[in-house]
Amino acid sequence: MPGDTLSGRRAFLKKATLASAAAAACLYGTQAHAAEFTLKYGNNLPMSHPMNVRAKEMAQKIAAESKGRVELQVYPNGQLGTDTDMLSQVRSGAIDFFTISPEVLGTLVSAGQISGVGFAFKDYSQVWAAMDGELGAYVRREIAARTALFAFEKCWDNGYRQVTTSTRAIARPEDFKGMKLRVPPSPLATSLFRGFDASPTSINFAEVYSALQTRIVEGQENPLAVIATVKFYEVQKFCSMTNHVWSGFWFMGNKKSFERMPKELQDIVARNINEAGLKQRVDVKALNDSLVADMKAKGLQFNEIDNAAFRAKLRGAGFYAEWHKKFGDEAWALLEKYTGKLA
């Protein structure tokens, strides 16, 4: 073994053990025999989340329709690392697919985060018109032009994001002042909450529960389905229904890896990923709609807000003008085509 020292052997054994654990923890591996093509898909959500329920179903269909030639292995719950780890892995080809939030995608391709502009989309009719229409097509073109990655046609859903806190409920924009709030590693998310005079802190998703538990941060923001499945209600007291950002997932692939398969197999994989995404959208909305009563029973206190007051605060802070300039006129015009005038 190269560098065969005690520390070298320990490092080698540690890597081998982690690799074996990840393989053993794979949510779904379809073949009793070796498939012609094995595809690895990583995400950061629990096995119980609709994303992974549909991913398992999708893997089964891909195996069946390809007659065993393609095996899709699903690694949920951050088994392959943090969001930034998995983004690096899909870029290098170490994994084939990764579902990435616009907030994290924006660290790689600025246009990828445009759907995360604060208080932009009023409802799902605006969201899906935009993401299945010209705005989504623009983002996919930008990804393809600027990276070795590509995004499948149908965006998956995460839901509207809500704010949970341990110290005080958020009812008015000024309630954010000075609050230590976890946000994704995203300049847009950081800018949004600085517009409310909060103190946003970027923490990778896998570390959020412990950061809330130890009061490194007072609060966080995520859709209800995530708040419930990750059990943030155990370490938070209030949930303010801010609906401040719609959050989705682009199902990203490594272009070179994907194109090593014959066209007919590419078509099978792409069709099933897009179909699973459409089903997952329905699942996530239904789950989010059902969770308020359930989490109230677990002790989480809910309150509604006046969205207009928060939008006005952002407008006055120059948030929309700043991001219009950063995204550029073409992208901003496509956003406002679906949302209406923001600034």
Summarize the confidence of residues 246-255 as an average pLDDT: 96
The whole-angstrom separation of Cα 206 and Cα 197 is 26
Structure tokens at 236: 């938070």
292, 166 contact by CB (below 8 A): no
pLDDT for residue 28: 61
φ and ψ at residue 157, rounded to 5 degrees: -100, 150
Tell me the pLDDT tens digit for each residue of 59-97: 999 999 999 999 999 999 999 998 889 999 999 999 999
Cα separation, 163 vs 227, in Å, equals 10
- pLDDT (mean) for 176-200: 94
pTM confidence score: 0.85
For residues 185 and 104, the answer to whether their CB atoms sit within 8 Å is yes
